[in-house]
Amino acid sequence: MRNFTYHRPSDAAAAGAQLAKSEEPRLLAGGMSLLPSMKLRLVAPSDLVDLGGIAALKGIKVEGKEVLIGAMTCHADVAANADVMRVLPALAELADGIGDPAVRHRGTIGGSISNADPAACYPSAVVALDATVETNKRKIPGDDFFTGLFSTALEPGEIVTGVRFKAPDKAKYMKLRHPASGFAVVGVLVAKFGAKVRVAVTGAGPSVFRVPAMEKALEANFSPKALDGITISPDDLMTDIHFSAEYRANAVVVMAKRGVAAIA
């Protein structure tokens, strides 16, 4: 790990100001991805701006049928929150299945979505639950936030302050979990908002994506059988030493059917 200057601002404005005047700064949230990358010298920031001291970035609020989660709220707090379990149980269940207890008690929702790991769970919730990502500068629709592999719409100096989720009538997240890392080999979140359905897939491709064919079929008939005959092309999916693109393509359909069956 190379030398860097450590900063711990007390509010988002001070954090933004520090980012603006630093040469190659990086924000530190839970550190679950950044610190290992620094140890491996994959990244070498000149300045590390720790958001851990900003109380305003932590907490959960339920406002009608929306759930606002502060960027520095850890996964364990989302999973255990009584209001989230009542209004948006699919999100609480998703958070409870991230990584292991150490990761869940240190990792944060803001850090997770900003890192945009292709196998992270939260991106599927941001997209399927029609969320809005709130930053210190603007509000970004969930559909526009993730732009590619480890890539988001965030601009230099922009800090995620919270994520506002819409509570659907029904939702379920089904995850084919990697047995070692806990990441999603394939994760599918199905959400039903009245007559509309949103299906978001993580783990399978370089970035989270929706499946319009599934959404249209489920809007006509919300049942697992509605997905019979729908296939996912493996062309743009990931292949690694554990799972092929073809395996992931089939798993997307399987996980989607299981999710629909669980809530139909």
pLDDT in tens, 230-252: 999 999 999 999 899 999 999 99
Q: Once rounded to an integer, what is the mean pLDDT over residues 14-29?
A: 96
Q: Tokens at residue 84, please?
A: 């989230």
What is the domain class of 58-166 according to CATH? alpha beta
Average pLDDT, the chain: 96
| Whole-number pLDDT of residue 128 | 98
Q: Tokens at residue 130, please?
A: 């029609």
Confidence of residue 1 (pLDDT cuts 50, 70, 90): confident
Task: Say how far apart CA 69 and CA 72 lie, in whole Å.
Answer: 8
Q: Quick one: 170-263 is in which CATH superfamily?
A: CO dehydrogenase flavoprotein, C-terminal domain (3.30.390.50)
20 closest CA partner among 29, 9, 31, 32: 9
Q: Once rounded to an integer, what is the mean pLDDT over residues 165-182?
A: 95
Task: Say how far apart CA 196 and CA 193 lie, in whole Å.
Answer: 5
Is the pLDDT reported for residue 127 higher than 80? yes
**Amino acid residing at 102:** A
Confidence of residue 182 (pLDDT cuts 50, 70, 90): confident
Task: Say how far apart CA 259 and CA 21 lie, in whole Å.
Answer: 47
227 closest CA partner among 246, 255, 202: 255
123 closest CA partner among 96, 144, 154: 144
Cβ pair 152, 146 in contact under 8 A: yes
Does the model's pTM come out above 0.85? yes
